Amino acid sequence: MHFIKGNIGCGMLAMGEAFKIGGLYLTLFILLYVWLISVYNMHVLTTLSRKVQNRLQAKRAPSFGDTVENAFKMSDKWIFRSISNNIRKIVFYNILITQLGLCSVYILFIGTSLQKLLLQYSYEINIQTVLLLTMPLIMVCASLRKLRFIAPLSTLANFALITGVITIMYYSCSGPSSKGVRYSYSKWTELPTMFGIIMFSFEGIGLVLPLFAEIEDSKKFTSSFGVLNFGMVAVMMLNVPLGMTGYSKWGDDVKSSLTLNLPYDHELTQFVILMMILGIACSYALQFYPAAVIVYSDLEKIYGPFNHPAVWDYSIRICICLVTYLAASTVPHLDLFMSLVGSVTCVALTMIFPALSNLAFRTKDKGSFFGSFFDMVTILTAVIGSVTGIYANTTAIYEAFSQNHSNG
C-alpha cells in the first residue's frame, strides 16, 4: 500500500492533460514504454542493492545513494570509479529537489482547486493570494517533526485520494463524450511536456529501496507476482483509465488536474475537492519530512552541533516551506511545473542513475549485450526527454509569463 501511495498523486490527476497533448494512441504507447523502463530500473536497483550488500557484508540493504556510489566504486571501468566519490551527493540532492518539487506541485494543486471553489461563490482571487491563504495549513504540516504524528495522515490522504478518483471516474464515464478527441498529437513541440508529466506520475522510485530493505524475504518484493510488479500494475491501472476517460469526456477542454473539470456547482464535488485539498496537504507533510531531515542533517554537519536543536529545526522547516511556496507562486501553472520537475529530477532518478549503475557494475565477461543495449537506450531516452523537456517547459513558462504581463 505504501508503494502504491508513493506512485500516485497529482501526476495521476494530470493524465488527462498528457492524453490531450499526445492523443489517445501515442500517449498510451509512451506511457507503456516509460512504465516498462521504470519497472525494469526498479528491479535493477533492487538487484544492485542486494549485490552491493553481499559484497560489503552489510546487515541491511544500502540506500539509493549508497547503492549507486558503491556500484560506481566496484566498477572495472575507470570512468565510473573516478566520479564515485561525488555521485552519492548528486543522487542525494536529486532526491531532495524531487521532494521539494513534489511539495510545490501539491501547493499549486491546493491553490488552483481552492481558487476555483472560491470562484463558485463569486470570490475572484488571483492564484498568488490564494496560495497565501493556504500557507497556515501547509506550515502546520511542515512543522510536524515526528513520524508518529505524520503516519496517521497517510490514511486520511489515501481516503481522500480514493474518494477523488471514484468521483472523477463517475463524472468522466457519465454523459456524452467529447467529439474533438484525437488519436495522435496536434503539436509535436508539446510532446516533451507530455513526457515530463508521465515521468512525474512515476514519482515513487525513491521508495523502492527503503521498502525493499524492510521486507525480510526479498522474493516477496521482486518476484513476478511480488510487491513491486503488483504495485506498478496497479498504478498503470489507475493512470490509463483516468487519463483516457478524462480526455475522452472533456477533450481539449481537459485541465491540468482532472479535478478542475468537475462541476463545482455540485455539492458532492465541493465536498470531494475539500477532502482532496486536505488529503494533498497530508501528503505534503509526508513528502516534506525527508527533505527537511536531509537539509537539517547537512547544516548540522557544517554548523552544528546546535545549542537549541528544536528551534533550528523549526526555523529550517519554515525556510524550506517558504522556498516551496516561492517556487509554486513563481510558476503558477500546474501542468508546466509538474512537467519541468518530471523532466529534470524524475528522469534522473528513474532512468539515468539506475542505468548508469547497471553499466558500471556489469563486468565485461559477465555482461550481456542486450542488457547493455537496453541501458544505453534508457539513457538515450532520458537525455532526449530531459533536454527537450527542459527547453519546452521553460519556453512555455516564459510565454505564459509574457502573456500574463501583457494582459496585466
The CA-atom distances, in angstroms, between 81 and each of 44, 70, 72, 235, 305 are 19, 9, 5, 36, 33
pLDDT at 6 (0 to 100) = 62
Dihedral, CA of residue 296, residue 61, residue 210 and residue 86, to nearest 10: 50
Contact 385, 372 (CB under 8 A): no
Measured CA to CA, the distance from residue 228 to residue 230 in angstroms comes to 6
pLDDT in tens, the chain (408 residues): 555 666 667 888 889 999 999 999 999 999 999 999 999 999 998 899 889 988 888 888 888 888 999 999 988 888 898 998 899 889 988 888 888 888 998 999 999 999 999 988 888 888 889 999 999 889 988 888 876 777 777 777 778 888 888 888 899 888 777 877 888 888 888 899 999 999 988 877 777 777 777 777 777 777 877 888 888 888 888 889 999 999 999 998 998 889 888 888 888 888 888 888 888 888 888 788 888 888 888 888 888 788 888 899 999 999 999 999 998 888 778 888 888 888 988 899 999 999 999 998 886 545 577 788 899 999 999 999 999 999 998 888 888 777 765 655
What is d(CA 105, CA 324) in angstroms, rounded to the nearest whole number? 9
Kindly state the cell numbers that stand for 198: 508521465
What is the distance between the alpha carbons of residues 207 and 236, in angstroms, rounded to a whole number? Answer: 17
A 10 A CB-CB count for 302 gives 6
Residue at 189: amino acid letter? T
Is 216 exposed, middle or buried (CB count within 10 Å of its CB: 0-12, 13-18, 19+)? exposed
Confidence at residue 123, expressed as pLDDT on a 0 to 100 scale? 83
**Distance from C-alpha of 298 to C-alpha of 304, rounded to nearest angstrom:** 9
Q: Where are the domains of the chain?
A: 2-407
Tell me the C-alpha distance between 247 and 163, whole Å.
20
Distant-in-sequence, close-in-space partners of 155: CB < 8 Å, separation ≥ 6: none
- The CATH architecture assigned to 2-407 reads Up-down Bundle (1.20)
Report if pTM > 0.85: yes
Burial (Cβ within 10 Å: 0-12, 13-18, ≥19) of residue 278: middle
Q: What is the phi/psi pair of residue 187, to 5°?
A: -130, 115
Distance in angstroms (rounded) separating the CA atoms of residues 197 and 342:
6
- CA–CA separation, 218 and 51 (whole Å): 13
CA angle 212, 290, 314 (to 5 degrees): 155
Q: Which helix (H) or strand (E) holds 84?
A: helix 84-120
The number of residues making up the chain comes to 408
Closest CA to 22 of 196, 179, 171, 258: 196
Distance CA 358, CA 376 (A): 10
